[in-house]
Chains A and B, each alone.
Chain A
Amino acid sequence: MGKKAGGYIVKNFIRMLTFLLAVSAASFFLLSLSPIDPLKSNVGQAALGTMSEEQIARLEAYWGVGIPAGKRFLAWLSGVLRGDLGISLLYRQPVLSVIREKAANSVWLMGAAWLFSGVLGVFLGTAAGAKKGKWQDKAITAYCMITAGTPAFWLALLLLLVFAVQFPIFPIGFSVPVGVAVSEVTLSERLSHAFLPALALGLTGVSNIAMHTRSKMIEIMESEYVLYARARGERGWPLILGHGLRNLLLPVITLQFGSISEIFGGSVLVEEVFSYPGLGQAAITAGLGSDVPLLLGITLISAALVFLGNLTADLLYLAVDPRMRRERRKEAERRNTHGGR
């Protein structure tokens, strides 16, 4: 058994490496296509006109102008393999330390939104599924349809408008109060700065998980064991919690681990609205300012996160659901017997 698990880990580690290699090659290729001149967009046409040839040459060397893309990619890749993602051109710091600093902020935001959308989604989905066809179900389904069509950044703007401008309950932006040393920031200050962005992200992220929970719940409510439980006299929430929630929690948690990509994508937009200095905003700054190393670094890190999220989902399924284990074994046997073709 231990040997099998080891093999599984090694296999997925190799899968992850090839995936990340493909991601870096693809994103490097895309960025190298760009007709944008990093000098013009960052230094400005006017300033370039006043500079000497020598200064321009030095700037070109700094921004990597004129070096063939293939050569740059190999240089970058060999750095990455040594754990060096290069130097961010805008922040003038190693990419890794920029990412570490920004990720520390994003973790609060994305973690809160992830938990919030998960818990609310499961609750709404369970309630809707248990009351299928009643007004509660219709209201929740309508809410999910509308939020699925609502851009997270617009909801963020509305929340900002109501809770930070009209009724100044929450701060307008940033991840910590302005002018306070990092060491003196309290947990409650961090949370109150992350609250509105996380709410915007969580409220729009709910619909997917709620709708999945709902259909699963409907399936469960029609099952024979629920019929039997009803016949024994179980009613209301104890029935829903004891027989429904227990059975649907696992697929739902799995789904939530697979939704990291969406949360990350949404956080890019929401961070922009709240000037929240996280990974998403760093990605925007990097994209607008032609900071290729930083953009590549963020892409690589986020792709790794998404991969790990999906892997966790798979592993959870395997670990907890005995049916999946059996199916995998069967599949493996089938492959062994027919593999020689």
Chain B
Amino acid sequence: MAGDRRFRFWNLRRKTIAAAGLSFGLLIFTAVLGHIWMEDAMVTDFSRKNLSPCLSYPFGTDWLGRDMIKRTAAGLSMSIRLGAVTAGASAVIAVILGTAAAVFGKTADRLISALINLIQGIPHMLLLILISYGMGKGFRGAAVGIALTHWPSLARLMRAEVLQLKTSQYVKISEKLGMGPVQIALEHMLPHLFPQFITGLVLLFPHAILHEAGITFLGFGLSMEQPAVGIILSESMTYLMTGKWWLAVFPGAALVLVVLLFEGLGQSLRSLLDPGSAHE
């Protein structure tokens, strides 16, 4: 009987909620932990340099005696916060332009779709290099580049949603009942678009974080003094030949884990918020 009750308690919805909560908790934990370790991550100590992973230094130490687990966590924390800013900015651009394309008629639609084609027509990494160079490299270059290039797919989705909503019966009825466009937008469109927006926002994170790591790795992003996984991996290249494998393996694996957590969080949110699958 007890097993039966347990079985009923852990249905798919609760499992998904638990998974989403766990991913979210882990990500917040990483961000906070990295922030606390931010100072420690920079401490050099030549009495402990080049240590391979052991109990007190699970990720090992580098040639300056910096604790790699702290450096990695600090870098990931930076990535998560930069991801939050850039994905947020990108999602806002996506909503504004996507809605504008759907609402302001053919010319606006054509212009915005031309802009999307332009952005998607240049290889992403190259476009990031161009923008980063234009902004003078560094944190600003990486952040502006990522924020300006990740909105097209979400904007397309938003455009399609708004177009569909515009022709939906309840919006038409509201128009006939004399509701103003602002009221319709707030009361009938926003509740429908908001879940899509949140899911889209969370699913932008993995891309934003991976591109931040990539552009930093190439030398166009965060600077050497800042904690970043891209910097760690780019520095590790010098030391790989001498067999210091832990400098590259663990930080990269941690980055992959963070990306997968965001991806999982996004997928869980999608299935929870989408009415089609919310009650499975």
Contacts and interface: CB of A to CB of B under 8 A. Distances in A.
Contacts of A160: 240
Given A262-B124, A295-B130, A22 B118 contact: yes
Interface stretch (A45-53, A151-159, A240-248): A151-159
Interface string B112-142: 0010011011111110011111111100000
B195 interface: no
A290 B252 CA distance: 30
A36 B118 CA distance: 25
A161 B124 contact: no
Contact of A146 (B213, B217, B256): B256
A301 to B, nearest CB: 10
B206 interface: yes
A287 B131 contact: no
B260 A33 contact: no
B114 A22 contact: yes
A299 B130 contact: yes
A151 B252 contact: yes
Interface string A19-39: 100110011011111111000
A48 B246 CA distance: 41
Given A19-B118, A146-B256, A284-B219, A158 B249 contact: yes
Contacts of B256: 146, 149-151, 154
The size bracket of the interface on B is 35 or more
Interface string A282-312: 0110011010000100110011001100000
Contacts of A154: 233, 248, 252, 255-256
B123 A269 contact: no
B171 interface: no
User: Which interface residue of B121, B214, B233, B263 has the most chain A CB atoms within 10 A?
Assistant: B121
Contacts of B263: 145, 148-149
B18 to A, nearest CB: 19
B121 A27 contact: no
A151 B125 CA distance: 12
Contact of B252 (A27, A34, A157, A287): A157
Contacts of B245: 161, 165-166
B248 A264 contact: no
A277 interface: no
Given A149-B259, A151-B214, A306-B123, A36 B133 contact: yes
B123 A161 contact: no
Contacts of B118: 19, 22-23, 26
B122 A306 contact: yes
Contact of A149 (B136, B206, B240): B206
Contacts of B132: 287
Contacts of A148: 263
A96 B271 CA distance: 50
Interface string B144-183: 0000000000000000000000000000000000000000
B236 interface: yes
Interface of B: 114, 117-118, 120-126, 129-137, 206, 210, 213-214, 217-220, 233, 236-237, 240-241, 243, 245, 248-249, 252, 255-256, 259-260, 263
The 10 A-B pairs of least Cβ separation, nearest first, read: A265-B125, A154-B252, A30-B134, A149-B259, A264-B123, A33-B134, A265-B123, A35-B136, A268-B125, A287-B129
Given A31-B130, A283-B129, A302-B123, 11 more contacts: A23-B118, A33-B134, A36-B133, A145-B260, A150-B259, A166-B243, A261-B124, A284-B129, A295-B129, A295-B130, A303-B121
11 contacts: A26-B118, A33-B135, A34-B134, A36-B137, A146-B256, A157-B248, A265-B123, A266-B125, A269-B217, A299-B126, A306-B122
